[in-house]
Amino acid sequence: MAALKHIFNELHYEMTRTLAEGGMGLVYEAVQKGAGNFRKVVAVKLIREEYSTIPEFQKNFIGEARLVADLIHTNIVQTYHLGQIGGQYFMVMEFVSGVNLEQFLDRHRVLKRQIPIDLAAFIVSRIARGLTYAHQKRDRDGRLLGIVHRDIGPKNIMLAFEGDVKLTDFGIAKALDLMYNEEGQVIAGKDEYLSPEQADKRVTDARADLFPLGIVLTELLLGQNIFRAHDRLESRQNILHLPIPKFSTLRPDINPKLEVIIQKALQRDRELRYQSASEILNDLEVYLYSDGYGPTNEKLGVYLKELMGHREPGITPAFTLTPPT
């Protein structure tokens, strides 16, 4: 760490602490320094040294950076720079002062509280908004990039203390001409948050991000992921075959309008599922705001600060940097 700090100091980044560690990579909090006492808190994500020389990991890491460089949207964590030091690649990213959705869920479990239904739907609507932008993104020649995130889940959704909701970690996303991809041979994503087509090793399109979005919504509402099992294979089998319940029987204050949205998001046949993120975004916003005032970033921010005891740990986006299974 000391050697790394010295190298980054020469690049005008002061590494202040380790924020997250994964099998293949790490994320640090850092202060970017510039002229005139300029200082900006950022997150620095890099591949572990032992993996940085493996072409597949290099290619995926570079591909992720290239992919997200032009994804500039309030509901997506922004990437500022891709660099290399001593053969080790790193990304400089937006620093999000807040918690990820997994920590948000865990806090409710500890306090034995249910997440308010309107806030659960609002959080998912903001991710649908970010996905709408990503799925519709085109390159400079006007070609649709065909971005599929493939890793929608609580660890990759950030809640800022100001109330912003941000999608992060496009590390296993696929897109036109940009990402290494072996769909049909491997499973990309976390087993309990897969779409049926991912679990079945089929080629995906943008609709594959909408099924796990439905899973996230139900987990926020119920406090648990109904597809999660003790082993990975069983989780995948649940994704493919577990009967989808009527969720209002599991939480009676889920109203019929929201039930319809959940059931459509969790259609295993993607032709029957929502056909775009913009469709589920529209339905969620009609549900939230058709009767008048609904949740806002500010309301979520106030709730989050109260929930976390006004602590602002400055947690950065979670990440995977793990190979497909």
CA angle, 259 as apex, 200 and 255 as ends, to 5°? 160
Q: Are the CB atoms for 165 and 157 separated by under 8 Å?
A: yes
Q: How far apart are CA 230 and CA 253, in angstroms?
A: 29
Let me know if 200 is a catalytic residue.
no
Catalytic residue among 151, 164, 209, 283, which? 151
Q: Are the CB atoms for 323 and 59 separated by under 8 Å?
A: no
Q: Are the CB atoms for 316 and 15 separated by under 8 Å?
A: no
Q: How far apart are CA 4 and CA 126, in angstroms?
A: 36
Q: Are the CB atoms for 223 and 105 separated by under 8 Å?
A: yes
The 3-state DSSP class for residue 264 equals helix
Q: Are the CB atoms for 156 and 317 separated by under 8 Å?
A: yes
Q: DSSP strand E in the chain: where?
A: 13-21, 25-34, 38-47, 79-85, 88-94, 98-100, 157-160, 165-167
Provide φ and ψ at 149, rounded to 5°: -65, -45
Catalytic residues: 151
